[in-house]
Amino acid sequence: MKYVIGLTGNIATGKSVVLEMLRRLGAKAINADALAHEVMGRGTPVWQAVVGEFGEDILGPDGSIDRRKLGDIVFADEAALRRLEAIVHPAVIARTQELIENGQQPVIVIEAIKLIEAGMHRACDALWVVTCRQEQQLARLMAQRGLSEEEARQRIEAQPPQEAKLALADVVIDNSGSLDETWRQVKREWDRISDLRFSIADF
């Protein structure tokens, strides 16, 4: 029996940190952003559709999609973002399902910023939402991705409010504090999953 966790949260809240913690505890980790990179690889059907929609100006020197150029377009235009998601999400969902079916680990975690918006949470046994303070999101985006404050705010404001995700959450991980504090929350929930799985197996 596989137990599937959907892991989400707004940009730069620390989803990847929580995903890595769960991976170290023994879960199979699926990163939807990495899968988006994969399905948008140069020459793929998704690459062709994205370039057809947004033009060759989004390409880098090697012909691959420059994610920053593409981001500058879609994060400034909600309709453009929806068009991009309509192209990319189905391919990411299909690849995710393939990885779940082929996974050998009993616990599988899908990390995706648009997990709820894409409807992927419906296929999960539990929905985990990672949160932090908005000023932390801003600082992380600027430090980790080299964005200006204006660019970072634009990306934060392009997303639904965190409250929309929290309303659906089975588990909330507050990543506002230290890594040790985040780890304790993750480990506590992991132990609950282990207890649940053993109870089901015994039944």
For residue range 174-183, list pLDDT tens digits in order: 999 999 999 9
Nearest to 186 by CA among 26, 10, 34: 26
For residue range 130-180, list pLDDT tens digits in order: 999 999 999 999 999 999 999 999 999 988 889 999 999 999 999 999 999
* Degrees to nearest 5, angle at CA 118 with 131 and 30: 65
Q: What is the pLDDT of residue 26?
A: 94
Residue 163's contacts (CB-CB under 8 Å, 6 or more residues apart) are none
The domains located in the chain, with CATH, are 3-202 (3.40.50.300)
User: Within a 13 Å sphere around the CA of 65, how many CA atoms are in the beta-carbon half?
Assistant: 27
Q: What is the pLDDT of residue 159?
A: 87
Task: Kindly tell me if the per-residue pLDDT of 46 is higher than 80.
Answer: yes
Q: Quote the CA–CA distance of 65 and 10 in Å, as a whole number.
A: 23
**C-beta separation of 19 from 107 below 8 A:** no
Query: pTM value?
Result: 0.88
Token readout for 188 is 């506590």
Token readout for 163 is 């409250």
3-state secondary structure of 179: helix
3-state secondary structure of 169: coil
Q: Quote the CA–CA distance of 201 and 1 in Å, as a whole number.
A: 9
Reported as a pLDDT band with limits 50, 70 and 90, residue 67 is: very high
Reported as a pLDDT band with limits 50, 70 and 90, residue 197 is: low
**C-beta separation of 1 from 197 below 8 A:** yes
